[in-house]
A and B are shown apart, each in its own frame.
Chain A
Amino acid sequence: MNPGKTGAGWVDPALEAEFPGLALMTRGCPGPVAADPGVTERLDAVASRVRGRTAVEMRRETVPAAYRAFYRQVGLEPDVEMTPVEAAIGRRLFDGGVKARGPLQSALELAVLETSAPVYALEAGALEGSPGIRPAAAEEEVAGAEGFPERSPGRLVVADEAGPLCWLFGEAHGRGAASVSSPALMLVTVGVPGVSPMVLDEALDIASGALGV
Chain B
Amino acid sequence: MRVVKSSLIFPVAALFLAGLFAVGMELESPLAVLAFLLLAAAVAALANAYLGKRLRRAAWPKPASVMVVGSLAVAIFALPLMQSGDPYSIYSESRALVLSAMLLPFVVTLGLTGIVDLGMGAFIGVGAYASTRLTLGCGLPVLLGPLLGGAISGLLAVALGPLLLRTRGHYFSLATAAFGLVAYNLFVRAAYVTGGVDGIRNIPGVGLSLVGDSHPNTVSYYWVAIWVLFILVFCLRFGGGQFGRCLRSLKDEEEAATGCGVDPVQYRQYVYAAAAAIAGVAGALHAQTVHYIAPGDFDLQFGIYLLALAVLGGSGNPAGCIASAFAMTFLEEKLRAFGDYRMLSVAVAILWIMLSRVKGAQRRALAVDGV
Whether A and B are associated in the same complex: the answer reads no
Q: Which residues of A approach B to under 8 Å, CB–CB?
A: none
